[in-house]
Each structure stands twice: as structure tokens, then as C-alpha cells.
Amino acid sequence: MSPLAVLGAVVLVVLLIAGGWAAWQFWGANLVAADDAAESVVSLRDGWSASPAVPDPDADPEAPPAVSQPAMGEPAWVLRIPRLNLEWPIVAGVDEADLRNGVGWYPSTALPGQAGNFALAGRRTTEGAPFRDLLTLGEGDEVIVETRAAVFTYTITAAPAALTVARSESWVLDPVPGHTDVVPTRALITLTTEEDLAPSDDISVGFGTLTMTETK
């Protein structure tokens, strides 16, 4: 076999390997991650059923149901977005390892249902791609967060496709986004994801407000 033919064969093998790896990352690995996410959701709900929240008799009846601080890196709550037919575990943390196990919660932000900004991050192309279609959300769409104590329904007020910022723009995680010195009086939600399907320094950001709370 001529050197040129050998080189061609090597290039072909490399292309096949690269293509197989890409197919695994964007399809096979996503299917595995989706199965793992479904199992986490079932496990969370089973745990809540086995050990339901106990109401505090001394709690302010006007206050939102208390949500416990979660263990970092562990599935803590369940996210549902009916418009996207999405049901996914929320993990405490937004590191690479956290986003492999679910939608990530920024630990510097508010807990679900509490006054302030409850902020989440999710992938669009890998790790199950839970936020693949996030940019199709519009004003009025619902984002539902299930916890042991309550179910919190937020309504989108600013669509994710309408705002793109650099990853370094931390104001989107402020208790009142864009108003660093304002004390929050409402429960808000922020959803963040990659703007592009290819890696970039920009993220798309959507905002919403809490519109309904159902105590379990």
C-alpha cells in the first residue's frame, strides 16, 4: 500500500472516531443523562412521600413555606416547565459536575419560593440538554418548582431569547436583578443557559415572578 493510501486510511479512521465521539456526546450521552434525571426525580418524590414536611405550628401563616438548605452537589428539588414538556432534577451548585446531574441552582441566590432571586442554570447541548429549548419560552409560560414542603409556580415575565449577557455579568443573579442595593420583597426566578449551541462567553437569561404557591 502506498504512503498516500496509508495516510488516507489513517485520516478516515480518525474522522470515524471523531464522528462517533461527537454522536455519543450529543445523542448517546444525552439519553443516558435523561434516564438518570428521570430516576432522580422518582427518588426525590419517593423520599418526600416517605418523609413529608412537618408544618411549623409557630410559623407565620403569611410567610412562604420554609425550604431547607440543600446539600451541595445533590438533587434537591424538581423543575417542571410544561411548555417544554420538561421534568428535571435541580441540583445544588452550578459546577461542571453539578450540571452533569441536573439543572443547577446558584447557591448564592434565594431558595425556592422565598423573597429574592431563585436562579438556575442548565445545558442546551450536553448533559441531557435540559434547557435545549429554553429560548422558545415566552412571557406567560409557567416554570414550576417542586420541593418537599410546597410547589411554587413562577410565570415568565422576560423571555430568555430577549436578553443575552456575558457570563461575567453577575447582576442577573442579584436579589433584584439589575438593582444591587434594593431589598427584595417578591420571589423571582432567573433561568440561564448558553446563547449558542457552540461554546461561547455569552448566556441567555430569562426572568419570572412567583404567581402561585401550593403547600403539600
pLDDT tens, residue by residue, 76-127: 999 999 999 999 999 999 999 999 999 999 999 999 999 999 999 999 987 7
pTM of this prediction?
A: 0.84
Q: Of the ranges 23-32, 94-103, 114-123, 192-201, which one carries the lowest mean pLDDT score? A: 23-32
> How does pLDDT run across 75-89, given as a tens digit for each residue?
999 999 999 999 999
What lies within 8 Å, CB to CB, of 94 at 6+ separation is 104, 105, 106, 107, 121
Q: How far apart are CA 136 and CA 77, in angstroms?
A: 23
Residue 216, Cβ density class (10 Å: 0-12 exposed, 13-18 middle, ≥19 buried): middle
pLDDT of residue 16: 38
pLDDT of residue 57: 72
Strand 86-92 and strand 75-81: the pairing is antiparallel
Domains delineated in the chain: 49-54+62-215 (2.40.260.10)
Q: Of the ranges 21-35, 78-92, 137-151, which one carries the lowest mean pLDDT score? A: 21-35
3-state secondary structure of 107: coil
Q: How far apart are CA 41 and CA 37, in angstroms?
A: 6
Q: How far apart are CA 73 and CA 71, in angstroms?
A: 6
